[in-house]
Amino acid sequence: MSSFAFITGATSGIGLATAKALAAKRYGLALAARNREKLEQVKKEIEDEMHVPVTCYVLDVRHPEEIQDVTERCLKELGTPRILLNDAGLARGLEPYGETKEEDILQMIDTNIKGLFLVTRAFLPAMLEKNEGHIVNLGSTAGLYAYAGAAVYCATKAAVKTFSDGIRIDVIDSDIKVTTIQPGIVETPFSEVRFHGDKERAAKVYEGVDALQAEDIANIIAFAVDQPKRVQISDIVIMANQQATGFMVSKKKK
Ligand code: NDP
Ligand code: 8X3
């Protein structure tokens, strides 16, 4: 594939919307997530409706050996991605830290930090060799403003921001760009995942708020990757109009 984007977390929410936004710009797609069935559905939908080639990779970014296998296959089968979108990520729980489950802590760290760091490490040498590529990492306003019950999630997103700033320094002599996207409240399955499948509780998060939509973030990512070679957008912070800081949201009464 000539110019393609490798997207982790491509089956839902922001990752899925960005896959479609990039397909509309005629990028080929290499899509990764854990659920094979969802990946195949997305592939079919995008190939049938948007007529761009899609390759699927079943990948759990928590497992380094899977990252190694998938990225090696991708480099061999498709070449070096022009865009790497590190979107796979999640929050688990919303309790004070003393009550946070160890498995939730580890899942957030392993997905949002370890996975993102290692996927980047796996593609970066090929990008450097080609002297081309754009790494786009999903941070969050949560990485800028901590909020109650989310110490670990907020810390993982702060790590994404600092990591991105660090690699931008390390690739300064190359043409590679690094961008951190830091959205506020986006209405996606994110809260359902956070609340372990409790749809009712998840729906309440977005009640009374004209929340950001995945497509809003996708359009902004598509804008960021479509700039002239000399332009590197380092960070983009996007809040809902009813939002002032990470978790300060004005809810409209019914
Ligand atoms: P979704 O839950 O809608 O999508 C998450 C995606 O990540 C899914 O495709 C999921 O697929 C994939 N994923 C989860 N765990 C793994 C894993 N271990 N390995 C590979 N893929 C994985 O959430 P959003 O679209 O809302 O979130 C996307 C990113 O944006 C996250 O990093 C999130 O932290 C960030 N973000 C979200 C905001 C929001 O308010 N929604 C605001 C700011 C940032 P599968 O389960 O099949 O693996
Ligand atoms: C997800 C948005 O506000 O729940 O990063 O932290 S928020």
Whether 22 maps to a domain, the answer reads: yes
Q: pLDDT tens-digit profile of 138-166? A: 999 999 999 999 999 999 999 999 999 99
**Domain, as residue range, for 48:** 4-238
Which atom of ligand 1 is least distant from the CA of 193? 2
CATH number of the domain encompassing residue 128: 3.40.50.720
Ligand 2 center to residue 242 CA distance, Å? 14
Ligand 1 contacts CB of residue 246 (under 6 A): no
Q: Does residue 137's CB lie within 6 angstroms of at least one atom of ligand 1?
A: no
Work out the burial of residue 76: count CB atoms within 10 Å of its CB; fewer than 13 is exposed, 13-18 middle, 19 or more buried. exposed
User: Which one from 27, 43, 114, 153 is the annotated catalytic residue?
Assistant: 153
How far apart CA 204 and CA 43 sit, in angstroms, is 31
Is residue 13 lining ligand 2, measured as CB closer than 6 Å? Answer: no
153 counts as catalytic: yes
Query: Closest-lying ligand to the alpha carbon of 12?
Result: 1
Ligand nearest to the CA of 17: 1
> For 221-251, how does the pLDDT look when each residue is reduced to its tens digit (9 = 90+)?
999 999 999 999 999 999 999 999 888 899 9
The dihedral over CA atoms of 157, 135, 73, 30, expressed in degrees to the nearest 10, equals: 90
| pLDDT tens-place string over residues 171-212 | 999 999 999 999 999 999 999 999 999 999 999 999 999 999
Residue 252 lies in a domain: no
In a domain, 247, yes or no: no
Span 17-68, pLDDT tens digits: 999 999 999 999 999 999 999 999 999 999 999 999 999 999 999 999 999 9
For the chain, the domain total comes to 1
Q: Say yes or no: CB of residue 66 within 6 Å of ligand 1.
A: no
Single-letter amino acid, residue 28: G
> Cα–Cα distances in Å, from 169 out to 77, 156, 172, 203, 230?
30, 20, 5, 40, 16
What's the pLDDT tens digit per position in 61-105? 999 999 999 999 999 999 999 999 999 999 999 999 999 999 999
Which member of 157, 204, 251, 253 is catalytic?
A: 157
pTM over 0.85: yes
- Known catalytic membership, residue 157: yes
Q: How far is the CA of 207 from the centre of ligand 1 (A)?
A: 21
Pocket test for ligand 1, best of 103, 138, 198, 221 (most atoms within 8 A of CB): 138
Alpha-helix residue ranges (DSSP H) falling in the chain: 13-24, 36-50, 64-77, 102-108, 116-130, 151-170, 190-194, 199-205, 214-224
Dihedrals phi, psi of 155, to nearest 5 degrees? -65, -35
Tell me which amino acid residue 153 is. Answer: Y
Q: Tell me what pLDDT residue 247 has.
A: 82
Query: Contact 9/15 with Cβ under 8 angstroms?
Result: yes
130 within a domain of the structure (yes/no): yes
